[in-house]
Amino acid sequence: MLEDAGVTTTGAVSSAFDLAIHLVKRALGAAVATATARDSLLPDQRLSQSPFVDARMVQPDLPPFAQQVAQWLDTRLAKPFQLTQMAQAFCVSSSTLRRRVKAETGHTPLALLQRARVEKAKQLLHSTHWSLARITEAVGYADIASFTRLFARWVGESPARYRRRKAVSG
């Protein structure tokens, strides 16, 4: 949302709801805006659209090497990350692998794996009734707390909140 010289605009379709709540808050106050959001099953303040992004719909066109690395990672989500093993699989050194992936994607190989794991967890949260512990294990983490922090960093909300919101909207 952007405000400039008395004009307020939004981007994505769902951000029109954010605009409506913002205008209610500006005209009638925070309490009325919060009540309106709650009655409308909307968040009263959303700082990011990232919980709503479906990565499958916005897959970037990666160069061939980065695409192969991403696919390799997708097939090994539950396995421990080992940069040297990955580099050997692509017949390059660890430093070359890191440098090429970073140059082609803007991310490290570990960040690509984390993103893939979070995306898989989002799918499982939406499509199964699995416990968070089972999902955490399925995407390669042993510690629920650390995975929850990672998920929140990438998505902008906890796995539990993501699941509740998807149950209401999905």
Residue 82 CA to residue 103 CA, distance in Å, equals 20
For 158, which DSSP code? Answer: -
**Position 51 pLDDT exceeds 80:** no
Spatial separation of the C-alpha atoms in residues 70 and 64, rounded to whole Å: 10
**Contact by Cβ (8 Å): 1, 19:** yes
Confidence bin at 90 (pLDDT 50/70/90): very high
Residue 60 in this model has a pLDDT that exceeds 70: no
CA distance 116 to 104: 17
Report which of residues 109 and 7 the model is more confident about. Answer: 109
Apex 162 CA angle, 41 and 82, nearest 5:
165
Helices (H), 94-155: 94-105, 109-127, 132-138, 144-155
pLDDT > 90: percent of the chain: 53
Give the per-residue pLDDT at 48: 52
How many angstroms separate the CA atoms of 167 and 161, rounded?
10
